Amino acid sequence: MSKCKGCGITLQSIDKTKLGYTPKIENIYCERCFKTINYNKEVKIDDLDNAKIINKINKYAAYVFFITDLFSLNEKVIEAFKQIKSKKILVINKMDLIPNNLKLEHLKENIQRVYEIDADIYFISVKRRINLSLIHNLILENKTILLAGETSSGKSSLINEILGINLTTSKYSNTTLDFIKLNYMETTIYDSPGLSLNKEKKNIDNINVVVKNLNKDFVYTINDLKIKGEGSLTMYLPNKETVLSKKEDTPLDKEYVLDKNDLILLEGGFIYISKANIKCNKDLEIRNSIIK
């Protein structure tokens, strides 16, 4: 049976409620991809099984390009990357969003050190077509390539740009539903379904950098976090968050002491904190800073 050229799912014309439906079996796109491509319409589906996707990736004798971006890096992303047993590289997309004062070689060394990974790291921008020639050369040097990564990381967009084809891409999650096999010159390329690692993450297409010097007499509120100290905050945020300050403190259950650490935000982005205490009612992900 034929597969959808956009998401890789097997096409069927019997049940509208199931994936792969198309009113005419000879169509090249399923109805979901057709609506996404032509009307930018989201058709929601349940998250795919991450473990099954990674297990299938590991069955391919392929050189894996794991796609993410600097402002989505967190423990779950790195854990998924480490579960891939094949030869692999970490490809950091959206490098056009990285501020100029953050040097790429320094970032690369810090990411490898903080997350304890030996794999090489490449910085690219699919949107701006930066460093795509490096990826193209790697593709040509290897017989089998597989693209993996979190949903909406830019895997299909990267293939489209390099190969000049039209896999379905969108700002919505789970665009690619099954493994898609492509032949390019003497290389076989597989696009894999995106891993669902963080339901709270927003689509990151912009980063605002906000610097805030702390005052020991004030408590600064960012969302539901209370921050107090004498250091500074450098915030890399996917939107314009408002930082409020209050004189009174608020009783909260959990407290963290940060000293040259990054606070990872679930919605995307992070905050470098030179020295401060954070109070909140939830567990936070904190790492040794990758920018210092």
- What's the average model confidence in pLDDT over 143-156? 89
Output phi, psi for 133, to 5 deg.
-65, -30
- What's the average model confidence in pLDDT over 188-209? 85
Phi-psi category of 40—alpha, beta or left, where left has phi over 0 and alpha has psi -120 to 50? left
Predicted confidence (pLDDT) at residue 173 exceeds the cutoff of 60:
no
- The candidate with the shortest Cα–Cα distance to 191, out of 217, 166, 156, 141, is 156
Give the lowest-confidence range in 100-104, 226-230, 240-244, 281-285.
Answer: 240-244
- The band of 4, judged by pLDDT with boundaries at 50, 70 and 90, is confident
Specify the pLDDT at position 248.
Answer: 67
Specify the pLDDT at position 41.
Answer: 64
68-101 per-residue burial string, b: 16 or more CB within 10 A, e: under 16: bbbbbbbebbbebbeebeeebbbbbbbbebbeee
Computed on alpha carbons and rounded to an integer, the radius of gyration of the chain in Å comes to 21
Q: How many CA atoms lie within 13 A of 1 on its CB side?
A: 11
Predicted confidence (pLDDT) at residue 232 exceeds the cutoff of 60:
yes
Specify the pLDDT at position 13.
Answer: 82
Q: Are 37 and 234 in contact (CB under 8 A)?
A: no
- The band of 222, judged by pLDDT with boundaries at 50, 70 and 90, is confident
Specify the higher pLDDT residue, 184 or 37.
Answer: 184
Give the lowest-confidence range in 15-19, 55-59, 64-68.
Answer: 15-19
Specify the pLDDT at position 177.
Answer: 57
Q: What angle do CA 169, 174, 180 make, to 5 degrees?
A: 65
pLDDT tens for each residue of 76-94: 999 999 999 999 999 999 9
- What's the average model confidence in pLDDT over 157-176? 62
Q: What angle do CA 160, 107, 99 make, to 5 degrees?
A: 70
- The band of 45, judged by pLDDT with boundaries at 50, 70 and 90, is low
Specify the pLDDT at position 44.
Answer: 61
Domain locations in the chain as residue ranges: 1-43, 45-191, 208-288
- The candidate with the shortest Cα–Cα distance to 78, out of 16, 150, 131, 20, is 150
Output phi, psi for 260, to 5 deg.
60, 50
Specify the pLDDT at position 285.
Answer: 96
Specify the higher pLDDT residue, 244 or 254.
Answer: 254
CA distances in angstroms from 180 to 110, 229, 274, listed in the order given: 34, 51, 45
Q: What is the third-level CATH fold of 45-191? A: Rossmann fold (3.40.50)
- What's the average model confidence in pLDDT over 265-289? 94
Predicted confidence (pLDDT) at residue 176 exceeds the cutoff of 60:
no
Mean confidence (pLDDT) of the chain: 86
